[in-house]
Amino acid sequence: MSPDLSNRCYRCVEDLAEFFSRVPTALFYLLALVHANFWITKFYYRLMLCILHSMMVLHLPMDYVAVVKRNVAWARELSYTKPSDWLFAYHRYYNMSGRVDVVLAHYKEDLSWLTDYLSRIDHLYLYCKDEAACRKGLPENLQGAKLVVTHLTNEGREANTYLHHIINYYDHLPDRIVFSMASLNGNWMRKLAFIFALTEPNKPRQYCYNQAVILKLQGFQMHNRYVPSVSLGDGYEKGMITIYPAEFRPLKEWMGHYLPFDVYSNRCRFGDSQHGAIFSTTREDIQKISQLSYQKLLIANQGADLMEAGYFMERIWRFMLAAKTNH
């Protein structure tokens, strides 16, 4: 390296050092904390997963297994978020204009979290699967949101609720609509997904994946049918539950029997968040698919509480609504 170039490099480093000397030390601590937090949640998830597997092998009491399983579920969902996601989501939220319709699948969850978002909601379609707890925690002041309450039989997962709404309002859908679970209390990934869905543009952004990811999705099926009764939602009792397997498995085979097209054909999905059961879509994209197809999907999501078909739907909603089809 020539002496002139060496001196210039040295001066650049010197200038850079001088610049950083003027930046408050607290900022570096904050950036380090944010970065560490992102990796700590991933490490915590892996740690709790190892503990859970060990407890299952040792056949420890289900009460203890349930606590660890809840921690695993919480850590797993949180590990999908980044600090920058929150900054982006809240920037959109505080710059959001207008209101949007929201469909909420509810069991026994506390709805007090809705207080922060009611001013951005036009129609709130609350579907209750437990009559006694239907409006649990719902604020008295709805801040202009128009409440529509519907009672459903407690069967299927949130997809059962979404399909009921789509079929009943198929010809009267708004330009844009948000579908969400009610279990947002203490679940940061779901809260982030809801903010993203609430604030998405009229045409949600599209993300595409490589073939390896698509093949993994197509091969998905539930391996454990008899599991601890733990959910990140409220109102679930401890004990063991049975997840009812779908008639056709894995997901690729199931789709072939209930949909007239391959939802993964273009390998793309809509929406900024990664949660499959909380999303925003448009009337146009819903109506690309016939009402008859939604009715077939609803039949596949009826007849039991926890159904494998509901887990399938969680993995196809965003792809199905983004798919290019004339059906």
Give the pLDDT confidence of 154-211 residue by residue, as tens digits.
999 999 999 999 999 999 999 999 999 999 887 788 899 999 999 998 888 899 999 9
Which helix (H) or strand (E) segment is 252 a member of? helix 251-258
Mean pLDDT across the chain: 86
Contact (Cβ atoms closer than 8 angstroms) between residue 276 and residue 212: no
**173: number of Cβ within 10 Å:** 17
pLDDT at residue 10 tops 70: no
Boundaries of every domain in the chain: 3-78, 87-199
> For 306, which DSSP code?
S
pLDDT value of position 81? 78
Q: Is 137 left (phi over 0), alpha (psi -120 to 50) or beta?
A: left
pLDDT, tens only, 83-127: 778 888 899 999 998 999 999 999 999 999 999 999 999 999 999
Separation CA 160–CA 162 (nearest Å): 6
Name the more confident of 151 and 30: 151
Task: Output the pLDDT for position 133.
Answer: 94
- Describe the chain by its helix, strand, coil percentages, rounded to 5: 50, 15, 40
* Residue 140 token pair: 């008295």
- Residue 327's pLDDT is 43
With a cut of 80, say whether residue 34 has pLDDT above it: no
Q: How far apart are CA 148 and CA 35, in angstroms?
A: 42
Q: At 235, is the pLDDT very low, low, confident or very high (cuts 50, 70, 90)?
A: very low
Average pLDDT over residues 279-300: 96
Name the pLDDT band for 5 (thresholds 50, 70, 90).
low
Residue 62 CB burial class (10 angstroms; 0-12, 13-18, ≥19): middle
The pLDDT score that the predictor gives to residue 319 is 96
pLDDT tens per residue across span 128-162? 999 999 999 999 999 999 999 999 999 999 999 99
Which pLDDT belongs to residue 226? 64
180 φ, ψ (degrees, to nearest 5) = -150, 150
- Is beta strand 176-181 parallel, antiparallel or unpaired with respect to 240-242? unpaired
- Which pLDDT score is estimated for 322? 92
Q: What is the pLDDT of residue 35?
A: 66
Q: Which residue has the tokens 């797993």?
A: 76
Q: Looking at residue 324, what is its pLDDT?
A: 76
